[in-house]
């Protein structure tokens, strides 16, 4: 069989992900794997019709499609995202229709599931038959056990093609939302209390998003900085070269770093506004997120209040919502809210005013919501990966993690460790164990009683503010 591999890496032949494809070529000599470098050649694909036609011919002639890509900032790289946009813009979906597809990614298992869900949704929208995904750690190919599982995964993919296996669609089609938002309620200006408000967007002239950005800016009484992300003058997407790892300096010499320093760094309240393209925001926004990796794994939005304006059917895009909310949380910022153009115009007006008021109030109080699983798990992944090997090259990350006590394993609470060990030994005594099991709920809440007793003190302190 002929398998068309759509490679999302901007590194081309030097891609880590592509080495897994090369392994498959050797493991399945009876099949042909032809590689389309969508990530590396995206500028050429945009500009040269004959190259684009060649890609479509490779897909059309194939028996199945394997998406092979690294994971960049919770999704596929911006270059592959742009390729998928081109398929839609140029009405090339028919080329993919009916073909079986599978997804192979490499990462450190940080939000690989959202990248898979995105590609699955795209395949469903193109009428493809999505057989499944395989997530590899960047070094998994060195392990024989993983090699065996990878072979089994691709064997199932090839069998699905040979059997013409029917596969049900998992992601429902997205509803069309016609532009309809015109502000109807004059905004009541909210005092910014000296907080710096920045709104970044990629709105097109006359769009709902442009109207939402304009109305939200008018909701603030103080000065608001509004900027289109094209003003960052990015020369291209993240190259995955990791040259920024030593000193947080990007290999690109363009306007992005200056734009970042001017707008993102000093913002107390940061609003990011974008339009849905296929199942994510635009490739331009994805490029913006990818390029922010120049700061490595240092939380770039730490302490900020962050909000989103979204034009498009966000209510039907759980994966996009997960990425947007998790991006804020994992960066140690606080999500104020998300406003879309899905409701009636009057509801949008009220939501935008509430967003402005709440963003200032929470910024003034310095509130950051306690972390949930994405941030807690993300921290542990980064901590272990950086300590376990990445610190040899990611020097800037290593310095930051040391300075901020993020290498928090094992716990440095030695009294707790001694107490845990003593309790463990005591639990070996049958009578003690029976007593503990009998009164477990009481023991669980005992340490919290003191905190409850101090709640009145905190209440009085709030009143005096």
Q: 404-418: per-residue pLDDT in tens?
A: 999 988 877 778 888
Place of tokens 């097109």: 204
Q: Rounded to whole angstroms, how far apart are CA atoms 228 and 225?
A: 10
Say which residue, 249 or 125, is predicted with more confidence: 125
Locate 353 and state its tokens: 């005013």
Where do the DSSP E strands lie in 170-262?
Answer: 197-201, 224-228
Residues 239-284 pLDDT 10s: 999 889 888 889 999 999 999 999 999 999 999 999 999 999 999 9
What percentage of residues in the chain have a pLDDT greater than 90?
A: 81
Query: What does the H/E/C string look like for 101-169?
Result: EEEEEEECCCCHHHHHHHHHHHHHHCCCEEEEEEEEECCHHHCHHHHHHHHHHHHHHHHHHHCCCCCCC
Cis peptide before 410 (omega within 30 of 0): yes
Q: Give the residue ranges of DSSP H helices in 309-445.
A: 318-330, 345-365, 373-388, 395-403, 414-426, 430-438, 440-445
pLDDT at residue 255, as a whole number: 93
**The pLDDT value given to residue 63:** 98
Closest CA to 185 of 151, 219, 135, 143: 219
CATH number of 197-365: 3.40.50.360
DSSP code for 31:
S
Domain 2-162: give its CATH architecture. 3-Layer(aba) Sandwich (3.40)
The pair phi, psi for residue 33, each rounded to 5°, is: -115, 105
Q: What is the pTM of this model?
A: 0.94
Contacts (Cβ under 8 Å, ≥6 apart) of 298? 248, 396, 397, 400
> What average pLDDT does range 92-99 have in this prediction?
98
Q: Which of 45-49, 162-166, 318-322, 390-394 has the lowest mean pLDDT?
A: 390-394
Q: Dihedral through CA 73, CA 77, CA 78, CA 82, nearest 10?
A: -140
The string over 20-31, giving b where at least 16 C-beta atoms fall within 10 Å of a residue's C-beta and e elsewhere, is: bbeebeeebeeb
CA distance 106 to 146: 13
Q: Could you tell me if 39 and 75 are in contact, meaning their C-beta atoms sit under 8 angstroms apart? A: no
Residue 19: band (very low, low, confident or very high) from pLDDT cuts 50, 70, 90: very high
- Is a pLDDT exceeding 90 seen at residue 9? yes
CA atoms within 13 A on the CB side of 400: 17
According to the model, what pLDDT value does residue 115 have?
A: 98
Q: Which of 23-32, 167-176, 292-301, 453-462 has the lowest mean pLDDT?
A: 453-462
Residue whose tokens read 């995202």: 81
> In this predicted structure, what is the pLDDT of residue 465?
64
pLDDT of residue 185: 80
Asked which of 139-143, 151-155, 177-181 is least confident by mean pLDDT, the reply is: 177-181
Q: Where are the alpha helices (DSSP H) in 130-271?
A: 144-162, 208-218, 256-259
């Amino acid at each position: 069989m002929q398998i068309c591999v759509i490679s999302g890496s901007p590194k081309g032949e030097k891609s880590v992900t592509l080495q897994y494809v090369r392994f498959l070529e050797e493991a399945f000599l009876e099949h042909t794997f032809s590689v389309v470098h969508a990530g590396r050649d995206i500028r050429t694909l945009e500009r040269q019709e004959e190259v684009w036609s060649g890609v479509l011919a490779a897909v059309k002639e194939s028996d199945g499609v394997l998406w092979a890509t690294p994971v960049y900032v919770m999704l596929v790289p911006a270059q592959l995202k742009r390729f998928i946009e081109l398929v839609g813009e140029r009405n090339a979906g028919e080329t993919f229709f009916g073909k079986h597809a599978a997804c192979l990614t490499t990462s450190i298992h940080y939000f690989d599931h959202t990248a898979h869900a995105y590609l699955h949704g795209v395949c469903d929208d193109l009428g493809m038959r999505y057989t499944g995904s395989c997530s590899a750690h960047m070094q998994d190919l060195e392990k024989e056990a993983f090699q065996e599982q990878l072979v089994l995964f691709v064997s199932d993919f090839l069998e699905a093609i040979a059997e013409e296996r029917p596969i049900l669609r998992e992601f429902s089609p997205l509803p069309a939302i016609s532009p309809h938002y015109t502000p109807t309620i004059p905004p009541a200006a909210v005092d910014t209390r000296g907080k710096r408000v920045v709104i970044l967007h990629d709105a097109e002239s006359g769009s709902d998003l442009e109207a939402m950005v304009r109305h939200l800016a008018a909701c603030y009484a103080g000065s608001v900085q509004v900027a289109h992300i094209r003003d960052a003058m990015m020369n291209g997407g993240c190259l995955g070269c990791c040259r920024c790892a030593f000193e947080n300096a990007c290999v690109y010499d363009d306007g992005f770093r200056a734009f970042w320093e001017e707008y993102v760094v000093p913002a107390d309240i940061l609003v990011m506004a974008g339009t849905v393209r296929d199942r994510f925001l635009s490739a331009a926004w994805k490029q913006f997120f990818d390029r922010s990796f120049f700061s490595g794994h240092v939380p770039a939005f730490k302490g900020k209040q962050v909000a989103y304006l979204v034009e498009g059917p966000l209510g039907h895009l759980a994966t996009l919502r997960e990425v947007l909310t998790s991006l804020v949380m994992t960066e140690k910022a606080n999500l104020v809210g998300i406003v879309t153009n899905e409701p009636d115009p009057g509801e949008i007006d009220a939501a935008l005013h509430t967003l402005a008021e709440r963003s200032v109030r929470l910024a003034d109080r310095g509130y950051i919501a306690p972390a949930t699983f994405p941030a807690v798990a993300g921290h542990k992944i980064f901590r272990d990966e950086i300590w376990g090997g990445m610190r040899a090259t990611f020097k800037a990350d290593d310095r930051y993690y040391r300075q901020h006590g993020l290498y928090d394993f094992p716990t440095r609470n030695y009294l707790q460790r001694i107490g845990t060990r003593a309790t463990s030994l005591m639990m070996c005594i049958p009578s003690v164990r029976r007593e503990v099991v009998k009164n477990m709920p009481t023991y669980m809440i005992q340490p919290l009683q003191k905190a409850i007793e101090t709640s009145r003190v905190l209440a009085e302190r709030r009143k005096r503010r």
